[in-house]
Amino acid sequence: MTIIEDTPVGRLRKDGAPHAPVPGPAAPPQAPPYPSGDQPVRPTASRVADLVELQERVLRGPSPKATEAQHAKGKLTARERIDLLFDKDTFTEVEGLRRHRATGFGMEDKRPHSDGVITGWGLVDGREVFVYAHDFRIFGGALGEAHATKIHKIMDMAAAAGAPIVGLCDGAGARIQEGVTALAGYGGIFQRNVRSSGVIPQISVIMGPCAGGAAYSPALTDFVFMVRETSQMFITGPDVVQAVTGESVTQNELGGADVHTGRSGVAHFVYDDEEECLQELRYLLSLLPANNRELPPAVPVEDPVDRLTESLVDLVPAERGRAYDMRAVIEELADDGEFFEVHQRWAGNVICALARMGGQVVGIVANQPCDLAGVLDISSSEKAARFVQFCDSFNIPLVTLVDVPGFLPGVDQEHGGVIRHGAKLLYAYCNATVPRISVVLRKAYGGAYIVMDSQAIGADLTLAWPTNEIAVMGAEGAANVIFRREIAASDDPEGTRERLIREYQDKLMHPYYAAEHGLVDDVIHPAQTRVKLIGALRMLRSKYTALPSRKHGNQPQ
């Protein structure tokens, strides 16, 4: 083995050979005079000018003709909608220069920037909100791989930031030229909808066609807005329906705004134009927390918290068979008489609304005596259950106004699964851990009384007016069952029936019977209702309930 001495460079090794010279620092590589070898480097100012021109071109959209076509349909462009949604000059776009990479069917020659969807975030009344908006002027807003990836990214950003996300939907479904990759893009959206459910508010605004798989994402979100005449939702379009069933139907007849807000219950809100729709969307966002870790935003209120509601004494008739409008009751209780009703045109026998009391946001569930006498049925049970679950997810206290004669009887209801659907509302209330206060205004009979957030299923506080009647059923029906033989054997059946009805009412249906048995916490003067509710909500604001450890419950479907 050759041994090398630690000697200066140039001296001999022990074997007599000279040391190899120690390499010095390498010389820096010589850059060519120009990047291409023959062109000068463009100055930064020139490149910035190119960027500005490109950004302006992206903001203008594909062409004036495409914009005019959008306006001719009575619709705004995606960027015009975003301007109306957000506070002025607060929108920040993400991936505005993205383009698809599909080939075939001429796609390689059509690569517009943004790829038909605008994504980003901005402020709504000073609070952060994320958005994606289909641009119908580009590929008809159809979803392809790059388009879907942009939506995935903004949904992930919203979840990470803990802020609401809004989808402004105006697209023709999956991009056929991209095949299965477009369908996979929808799958990624659906997965994120479910992951964010109950974590951040998700709102869909249908402002054009929303067909096929595209319709499932709005169905997974918390609220759906629609615009009359210009927005439609359906799984299969009119042509397919006619080919399969022979039925001839227009797009609006099949899946228009009035259909989905009044008949199917798919959509929650409907408006005549996009400007009003987006303005009401801003108002809804002002009532919601940013995520499930926050309380709803409180605001200063000029409506006195000690204001008496004297008009309620005359507003609600004592006669249990007389109708009245429960909305008038809610107006008296809410701050400044303002409330935001959800699903107003569907299942009108129950009212679901967001309002403020003492500046704090509350969710209100109330029977509506002027619609089917306020009974519960399949649709109203589903409507209320969904609303209760939403409020519980986002820390919104629940106030339940009870005036219910029972569940709607009938073969159609029983065969349609009223038991299963009614159980959804029962499950939602029993599972809710937010503050829960119920007020029995008048009648509360049978299973419907239990389901409407009775004390037995966990209401924190139960109040009642002196007009309340809480019982298994109405006095007339109860007397017919209990005293059937006695009435039949009487020489005066009608007189005996009336006497026994009054006897049953005096013993079991007087307004203090439930209070005497601890099922009502207090019987209050109607004029004190608002004061009592605000005081109870203040007391329950820090309520905490620990639930059993579980992956999730198996709620009725």
Given 448, 471, 475, 478, which residue is catalytic?
448
**Average pLDDT score, the chain:** 89
State the first-to-last Cα distance of the chain, in angstroms, to the nearest integer: 84
Range scoring the smallest mean pLDDT among 99-113, 140-154, 174-188, 299-313: 99-113
Mean pLDDT of 159-171: 96
Smallest Cα–Cα separation from 407: which of 379, 360, 439, 375? Answer: 375
The answer to whether residue 151 scores a pLDDT higher than 90 is: yes
167 is annotated as an active-site residue: no
Mean pLDDT of 62-74: 90
Given 262, 447, 458, 535, which residue is catalytic?
447
Q: What is the DSSP string of 202-245?
A: EEEEE-SEEEGGGGHHHHHSSEEEEETTT-EEESS-HHHHHHHH
What percent of the chain has a predicted confidence (pLDDT) above 70? 93
pLDDT at position 325: 97
pLDDT at position 23: 57
Given 179, 213, 458, 535, which residue is catalytic?
213
- Select the highest-mean-pLDDT range: 59-73, 127-141, 488-502: 127-141
pLDDT band per the 50, 70, 90 thresholds, residue 460: very high
The torsion angles phi and psi of 400, rounded to 5 degrees, stand at: -115, 120
The answer to whether residue 427 scores a pLDDT higher than 70 is: yes
Range scoring the smallest mean pLDDT among 153-157, 254-258, 552-556: 552-556
CB 353 within 8 A of CB 339: yes
Mean pLDDT of 428-451: 96
The answer to whether residue 24 scores a pLDDT higher than 90 is: no
The torsion angles phi and psi of 356, rounded to 5 degrees, stand at: -120, 140
Range scoring the smallest mean pLDDT among 2-16, 120-134, 446-460, 511-525: 2-16
pLDDT at position 5: 45
160 is annotated as an active-site residue: no
pLDDT at position 25: 56
pLDDT band per the 50, 70, 90 thresholds, residue 286: very high
The answer to whether residue 126 scores a pLDDT higher than 50 is: yes
Each residue of 26-42: pLDDT tens digit? 555 555 555 555 667 88
Higher pLDDT, residue 490 or 161: 161
514 is annotated as an active-site residue: no
Each residue of 474-492: pLDDT tens digit? 767 777 777 778 877 787 8
By CB atoms closer than 10 A (0-12, 13-18, 19+), residue 403 is buried
Mean pLDDT of 332-348: 97
Given 162, 212, 446, 535, which residue is catalytic?
212
Mean pLDDT of 485-512: 78
Q: If phi over 0 gives left and psi between -120 and 50 gives alpha, with beta otherwise, what is residue 134? A: beta
CB 116 within 8 A of CB 82: no
Mean pLDDT of 507-526: 88
The answer to whether residue 311 scores a pLDDT higher than 90 is: yes
Range scoring the smallest mean pLDDT among 5-19, 391-405, 497-511: 5-19
pLDDT at position 123: 98
Higher pLDDT, residue 150 or 495: 150
Each residue of 133-143: pLDDT tens digit? 999 888 878 88
Range scoring the smallest mean pLDDT among 19-28, 103-112, 347-356, 419-428: 19-28
The answer to whether residue 374 scores a pLDDT higher than 50 is: yes
What Rg value do the Cα atoms of the chain yield, rounded? 33
pLDDT band per the 50, 70, 90 thresholds, residue 8: very low
What percent of the chain has a predicted confidence (pLDDT) above 90? 64
- Select the highest-mean-pLDDT range: 27-41, 42-56, 369-383: 369-383
pLDDT at position 35: 53
Mean pLDDT of 452-458: 96
406 is annotated as an active-site residue: no
**CA torsion, ordered 331, 335, 338, 342, to nearest 10 deg:** -90
pLDDT at position 4: 43
